[in-house]
Amino acid sequence: MRKIAPCPVEAAVTLLGNKWRILIIRDLLEGTKRFNELKRSIGGISHKVLTENLRILEENALLIRTVYYETPLKVEYSLTETGASLKPMILFMKEWGKEYLSKMNIEEWHYID
């Protein structure tokens, strides 16, 4: 686990880190997903960047990586209870984003509920 600052806001920012981690959490709030499902739903993310961010989220106990040793190998990702506790924050960001997009006349395209 990475060193986390004692300031609550800084701790949250450090754990979430970047837009990719927030989008991964957003998608996993819908349920367990495989790597390629996440890659498809998060447009523009490279294989390497997705892998790095999934590892960081796992290291910080926000998601669980489950490996099924079968042919072909199957790996699934799901949120821990701590990761799922981010849902109110993600939903708040969604609502704030909807208001912003509406004010700026920008068409919205992806939602979570």
Number of Cβ within 10 Å of residue 4's Cβ equals 12
Residue 108 in this model has a pLDDT that exceeds 70: no
**Mind listing the pLDDT tens digit for each residue in 63-100?**
999 999 999 999 999 999 999 999 999 999 989 888 88
Q: How far apart are alpha carbons 110 and 32 in whole angstroms? A: 18
pLDDT above 70 (res 111):
no
- Give burial (CB, 10 Å; 0-12/13-18/19+) of 97: middle
How many angstroms separate the CA atoms of 32 and 49, rounded? Answer: 19
pTM of this prediction? 0.84
Q: In the chain, what percentage of residues exceed pLDDT 70? A: 92
pLDDT above 60: residue 5: yes
Hey, what domains does the chain have and what are their CATH numbers? 8-103 (1.10.10.10)
pLDDT value at residue 66: 98
